[in-house]
Amino acid sequence: MASKHKIIAFLLSMLLFVSLANGVPLETICSFTIHPTYCKNVLVNQNGNIYDYGRISIRKSLSQSRKFINSINSYLQSSSSLSQSTIRALEDCRFLADLSFEYLSNTYTTTNQSSNVLPISQAEDFETFLSAVLTNQQTCLDGLNTISSDQRVKNDLSSSLSDDIKLHSVTLALFKKGWVPEKKIRTSWPQNGRHLNFKNGRLPLKMSNRARAIYDSAKHHGRKLLQTTTDEDSVVVSDVVVVSQDGSGNFTTINDAIAAAPNNTVASDGYFFIFITEGVYQEYVSIDKKKKYLMLVGEGINRTIITGNHNVNDGFTTFNSATFAVVGQGFVAVNITFRNTAGPGKHQAVALRSGADMSTFYSCSFEGYQDTLYTHSLRQFYRECDIYGTVDFIFGNAAVVLQNCNIYPRLPLTGQFNTITAQGRTDPNQNTGTSIQNATIKAADDLAPKVGTVQTYLGRPWKEYSRTIFMQSFMDSFINPAGWHDWNGSFALSTLYYAEYNNRGSSSSTSNRVTWPGYHVINATDAANFTVSNFLSGDDWIPPTGVPYLSGLI
């Protein structure tokens, strides 16, 4: 009987696909979006197929993106009359809008040449980019909403953004319906990815002669982390530079080393390898989109430390409060502590923000209080990392898996409660969410004596379609039995997706969890959707980093 139902479902889906490809009314096309009325108003009312309407929507999104950039630039050109907080919010918006324009341009180029489903890896790439366009717009809007002066600027751009977000939502929905194949979830077998040993003094590198000479020089300075072996299972490196504050390396600052990296490299070129010696680096680092495939390796957690104290209370936006920020594709960080020392009284203060597609963090520590780790957008992987914070300290709207990490809630301000996650998905078609697998959740040293007086929750819904999964993780006894906290009354409780699977520890019981429509206790089949292999397609891009990972469930 089950197989009969599958055959019927397959035939129905094929009929739908054929009808979409051959032409259907606009009303039917727009029913696939969450803004059907807006969709019908913005698209040409003629009989076309899903590809015709999809291309129209992508063109309109691209056009609106260009207009929005022009509007921001116009305001910034007359910035002498604007407050510092307004200028910072506008600069965030321009930075994000430039990224979105590139994502939309690349999508348009590809879809303009195709009236069929794309290869699954390519389709996932563009689905990820279009999801990020919505995230970028929402981040800009959130920043504008914090402006207390310059109301004309705020109102003008916020109104434009609200319509643009609807348009980009339609674009994403139609792209998924037309160009994304029906994804077949791979069975998640326990499988370790090929990896190298970063921790115990061995890092096999395959590098050019020039890079080898610099690497040999680094060894002469007593740095034993880099030790070559055979070319088999090696990380491919195009160049190696050393950062050392005592002047014995190639650079004394991290920013100078990053500036020396080539622009717009591709994966096959190998990594530009930056070895950062032990020390406290008081630098604000921002790695832009041109600096691709950088690998930063320190000497260990609490040995190589990058630190700052920017925060919202002192006039920064949450987005630009980050001590370390990266959007360059293929970024890898190993053995580094990222820190924001603003403290709990300064509220939002980001230690690290990543909007870098296919970014990887291994054996790193992220230290802050509110909003420590900003997993902003695109695809990210964290392995064996330590994350410290209080309110919403793992937040953002990336597609991210945190695997084998230690999560340490800290002591918040008096009257505050801790929330580990605040996931920011705003649209059900975004392929984003936070998946936490095989974590260890324990109270930090300052919270441990006071766990009876401070409530700690797994997360709360920052945005309407917030999606977070805890699976196969250890939860110590201090987590509130309800597990999750609301954001504002009933907001998002029926549209969010919060799930738990096979957790352990004193607080893992789900018997007294919230009873929201969007909360689920899931089985292995559902949990497999949120593994490295299925949720991130990580088998395609994590192995070249040399970082260990588990493809599926434990």
Is residue 395 a part of any domain in this protein?
A: no
Does 242 share its domain with 385? yes
Q: Is 392 a catalytic residue?
A: yes
Which position has the token pair 């190589």?
304
Strands 235-243 and 271-276: what pairing? parallel
Q: Of 46-55, 66-75, 160-169, 269-278, where does mean pLDDT reach its minimum? A: 46-55
Show the 3-state SS of 354-394: ECCCCEEEECCEEECCCCCEEECCCEEEEECCEEEECEEEE
What's 330's DSSP letter? T
Query: How many domains are contained in the chain?
Result: 3
Q: What is the CATH number of the domain that holds 277?
A: 2.160.20.10
Strands 271-276 and 279-281: what pairing? unpaired
Is residue 224 a part of any domain in this protein?
A: no
Active-site hit among 164, 239, 392, 476: 392
Take residue 332 and report the two structure tokens written for it: 């890898």
Terminal-residue alpha carbon distance, the chain: 32
Does 343 share its domain with 477? no
CA distance 131 to 104: 11
3-state secondary structure (DSSP) of residue 7: helix
Show the 3-state SS of 264-302: CCCHHHCEEEEEECCEEECCCEEECCCCCCEEEECCCCC
Compute CA distances 120 → 51, 289, 377, whole Å: 17, 24, 20
Does 358 share its domain with 499? no
Does 381 share its domain with 421? no
Residue 58, φ and ψ in degrees, nearest 5: -65, -40
Does pTM surpass 0.85? yes
Is residue 98 a part of any domain in this protein?
A: yes
Does 252 share its domain with 356? yes
Is residue 324 a part of any domain in this protein?
A: yes
Side by side, which strands form the sheet with 433-437? 205-207, 235-243, 271-276, 294-297, 332-334, 359-362, 379-383, 399-403, 433-437, 467-471, 497-501, 519-521
CA nearest to 36, candidates 170, 161, 175, 159? 170
Res. 70 pLDDT band, cuts 50 70 90: very high
What's 450's DSSP letter? G
Is residue 344 a part of any domain in this protein?
A: yes
CA distance 57 to 179: 13
Q: What does the chain come to in residues?
A: 554
What's 89's DSSP letter? H
Does 164 share its domain with 284? no
pLDDT digits (tens, 9 = 90+) for 180-231: 998 765 554 444 544 555 554 445 555 555 555 555 555 444 333 444 444 4
Compute CA distances 460 → 165, 485, 529, whole Å: 23, 5, 21
Does 380 share its domain with 408? no
The pLDDT of residue 149: 83
Res. 11 pLDDT band, cuts 50 70 90: very low
The pLDDT of residue 225: 40
Take residue 515 and report the two structure tokens written for it: 């009873």
CA distance 391 to 148: 23
Query: What is the mean pLDDT of the segment spanning 365-382?
Result: 98
Is residue 523 a part of any domain in this protein?
A: yes
Q: What is the CATH number of the domain that holds 52?
A: 1.20.140.40
Does 248 share its domain with 350? yes
Does 382 share its domain with 251? yes
Take residue 158 and report the two structure tokens written for it: 């916020």
CA distance 153 to 155: 6
Q: Are 60 and 167 in contact (CB under 8 A)?
A: yes
- Mean pLDDT value across the chain: 90
pLDDT digits (tens, 9 = 90+) for 395-444: 999 999 999 999 999 999 999 999 999 999 999 999 999 999 999 999 99
232 pLDDT more than 60: no
Print the domain residue range for 68: 26-179
Does 243 share its domain with 377? yes
Instruction: For 263-297, give one letter per residue: b (16+ CB within 10 A) or e.
Output: eebeeeebbbbbbbbebebebbbbbebebbbbbbb
Res. 125 pLDDT band, cuts 50 70 90: very high
The identity of residue 179, as a single letter, is W
